[in-house]
Amino acid sequence: MGFSRALFVTAGLLSLVVAASLLLSQRDYKRMLAYHSVEHMGLIALGRGRRHSARLAAVLLHVLGHGLAKAVLFLASGEILLVEGTTEIDQVRGVAGSSSGPGAASSPSGWFALLGLPPFSLFIQ
């Protein structure tokens, strides 16, 4: 294994472990989205560390799908912060049940995309 491939795999595994441990104790929804992005960058680094053209195409598809879904959720989290005045998960109530505003912007497409459900690009991989 070449040096750059080993570096990608090591950095990918390290970021997966760190992000997963930080996600478990997080109570702030904006930080949770940020740590989730760090985790996905670890997955992308792992995919890049492999030498196969199909894996590179999968990595690029993952980058595109994750970037679009996460952009929607970050924008929605800013709207939730403006409406609710807090980023604490325990303090935010009733946003998902609203038919307009931040609840409608963040549910369900952004969450379904990041969870890897069909028909989104993270499911295809």
- Residue 27 to residue 74: CA distance in whole angstroms: 16
- Residue 98 to residue 93: CA distance in whole angstroms: 10
Give the phi and the psi of residue 88 in degrees, each rounded to 5.
Answer: -80, 130
- Residue 82 to residue 13: CA distance in whole angstroms: 36
% of the chain beyond a pLDDT of 90: 24
pLDDT tier at 91, thresholds 50, 70, 90: confident
pLDDT digits (tens, 9 = 90+) for 4-23: 889 999 999 999 999 999 99
* 39 Cβ contact list (under 8 Å, min separation 6): 15, 16, 19, 20, 23
pLDDT digits (tens, 9 = 90+) for 92-119: 877 666 656 655 555 677 778 877 788 8
pLDDT digits (tens, 9 = 90+) for 14-61: 999 999 999 999 999 899 999 989 998 998 898 888 777 778 888 888
pTM: 0.78
Query: Which pLDDT score is estimated for 79?
Result: 83
Task: Of 91, 72, 83, give the one whose Cα is nearest residue 29.
Answer: 91
- Helix, coil or strand: residue 86: coil
Strand partners, 88: 28
